[in-house]
Chain A
Amino acid sequence: MTGADAPGHAARQAVEAAWRIEWPRLVAALTRLAGDIATAEELAQDALVAALEQWPRDGVPPNPGGWLMVTAKHRAVDRIRRDANFARKLELLGREAITAEQPVGEPDSAITDDLLRMIFTACHPVLTPPARAALTLRMVGGLTTAEIARAYLVPESTVAQRIVRAKRTIATKRIPYEVPAGPELTQRLDSVLEVIYLIFNEGYAATSGDRWVRAELCEDAVRLARILTGLLPEEPEAHGLAALLELQASRTPARSDADNGLVLLADQDRSRWNRLYIRRGFAALGRAHTLERGRGRAPGRYALQAAIAAVHAMAPTAADTDWRRIAGLYALLAERFPSPIVELNRAVAVSMVHGPGAGLDLVDKIAGSGALADYHLLHAVRGDLLERLGRAAEARAAFERAAELTGNEIERELLLRRADSGSNPAG
């Protein structure tokens, strides 16, 4: 018999799984009870340690989530008895029935509310963007600090410190543990969506390091977006973001070659795009549109970007891409959510419809405004357009400038290759 058959092994597996599955809900509920995230984490940790001791001996309980919740609440009561400072919290705990019979300890709506409180707290604008991302991955995604550190290619101590500081900020600034209401909800929801989007982008086009794609981080972000649609099923932009991320993630298998090199959209083997993610993306986009129409509103920024990703997804080959439609969607995006990045993307689409000269005019307008001067993709796009116009020397300079500016090794190699090929037509 192998170790895999031992009951101890199965129990350890169950604890490992419970950590991942139950941790966010456990800590979210305990934060409401204990009043702060740090105490909640300690209590949840205590409960998991108790599971590690007891499950191998007594067997995995039929309702692991409920067991952990009840155990954590008992631990809380024990602590309160030992520590007079927790007297106030005992009163709070007293209001909660401590019973193992309830499914996962709480009715479904309570879980939803607790998780929503947690995600709005973790994404609070008072925190720095890296702190928001780390705290969200930890408290809502259920990742360990080591996993977050690996995903972001930073030392574990950096992530741990970021999280500790974020929790301290939440405590000292007295950030209420609640879901904002009214107009504040819209504003704060933007922050939540942005955090998930930034996490995805860090995985999709790593800003540093020697790997082009960090697929696990993308998966974490898509999962967070899916969780958010479950928590806020009536919010169109939650579905818009989920649609965008599913559609972008569908391309992951085709974005790297065998040597982990970057493969551009036009060169991707589209048979490797994940059809299921595309289908899920379309479904989420449809949901976003339906909800927006129901509210008499135009599509939001993520739904519009998802619509652009959907046009790419619909094209069987790069040559079949409906660039006219994409240029139109970028124009709409630029009108409603103006930004130089959107303008840059619009320039690419326009160049595909009206030729590289028309695209270059737009890019030079952005460059002339001083925006994105240090953004490598501005120079990469410029290089591409100049090359298509036969202006090889200028193209080379633009690609070299782009290569200087990128922090990603794989991207740098590609840009330098393009700089070389432009000056050497035989290559």
Chain B
Amino acid sequence: MRSLILIRLDPAAAPEGGPDDQLMKDMNELIEEMTKAGVLLDTAGLRPIEEGTRIRQAGGTQTVIDGPFTESKEIVGGYCLLQTRTNEEAVEWARRFLRVHGPEWEIGVEVRQLDGEG
């Protein structure tokens, strides 16, 4: 099965200057471990939401809004696409992803199984 891990965080509560060197190092090690375990299909961080664009459609009318979006508190900051045999396994990898973050981080993930898979 494949699972999309969406990483959610509140940029206002995130440490100034983003991830420090230690976190980047730990994260790279974890990504390498996931790659070597054959479970990581794809992963990326996302550019700040200020640079994003939202397009809404209601009643057949589209509204295009460029960032920043002041009303958003928690945003998706990145994702991992995993292939595992069980959901538990995907959840544990997601927990390991969170665990490399220090106490200064307020961060969560959402583990979502892709539709149409066993």
Q: Is B89 an interface residue (CB 8 A)?
A: yes
Interface size on A, as a range, is 20 to 34
A227–B36 CA distance with the chains assembled, in angstroms: 5
A18–B37 CA distance with the chains assembled, in angstroms: 13
A52-71 residues at the B interface, CB under 8 angstroms: 62, 64
Count of B interface residues, CB-CB < 8 Å: 21
- Within the complex, the shortest CB–CB distance from A173 to chain B, in Å, comes to 29
B89-A17 in contact (CB<8A): yes
CB closest chain-A residue, reference B87: A13
User: Which of A16, A62, A222, A280 neighbours the largest number of chain B CB atoms within 10 Å of its CB?
Assistant: A16
A230-B35 in contact (CB<8A): yes
Chain B residues closer than 8 Å to A253, beta-carbon distance = 116
B38-A20 in contact (CB<8A): no
B75-91 residues at the A interface, CB under 8 angstroms: 81, 83-86, 88-89, 91
A143–B41 CA distance with the chains assembled, in angstroms: 20
B41-A280 in contact (CB<8A): yes
Chain A residues closer than 8 Å to B83, beta-carbon distance = 219, 222-223
Chain A residues closer than 8 Å to B118, beta-carbon distance = 215-216
Do A20 and B36 contact each other (CB < 8 Å), given the known contacts A215-B118, A216-B118? no
Chain B residues closer than 8 Å to A226, beta-carbon distance = 35, 38
Which secondary structure dominates chain A's binding surface? helix
A263–B95 CA distance with the chains assembled, in angstroms: 39
Contact partner of A227 (CB less than 8 A), chosen from B37, B85, B99, is B37
A112–B93 CA distance with the chains assembled, in angstroms: 19
Do A16 and B88 contact each other (CB < 8 Å), given the known contacts A21-B93, A223-B83? yes
B89-A21 in contact (CB<8A): yes
Do A16 and B38 contact each other (CB < 8 Å), given the known contacts A62-B99, A276-B81? no
Chain A residues closer than 8 Å to B85, beta-carbon distance = 20, 142-143, 147, 216, 219-220
- Within the complex, the shortest CB–CB distance from B18 to chain A, in Å, comes to 23
Chain A residues closer than 8 Å to B92, beta-carbon distance = 13-14, 17-18, 21, 64
Chain A residues closer than 8 Å to B84, beta-carbon distance = 20
CB closest chain-A residue, reference B85: A20
CB closest chain-B residue, reference A115: B36
Q: Is A231 an interface residue (CB 8 A)?
A: yes
Q: Is B42 an interface residue (CB 8 A)?
A: yes
Q: Is B39 an interface residue (CB 8 A)?
A: yes
A276–B41 CA distance with the chains assembled, in angstroms: 8
B86-A223 in contact (CB<8A): no
B37-A21 in contact (CB<8A): yes
In the assembled complex, 22 residue pairs joining A and B whose CB atoms fall closer than 8 Å, in A order, are A13-B92, A14-B88, A14-B92, A16-B88, A16-B89, A17-B92, A20-B84, A20-B86, A20-B88, A21-B37, A64-B92, A142-B85, A215-B118, A216-B85, A216-B118, A223-B38, A225-B38, A227-B38, A253-B116, A276-B41, A276-B81, A280-B41
**What 17 new A-B contacts, CB under 8 Å, besides A16-B88, A112-B36, A142-B85?**
A13-B88, A17-B86, A17-B88, A17-B91, A17-B92, A20-B85, A20-B86, A20-B89, A147-B85, A220-B85, A222-B83, A223-B38, A224-B38, A225-B38, A226-B35, A230-B37, A230-B38
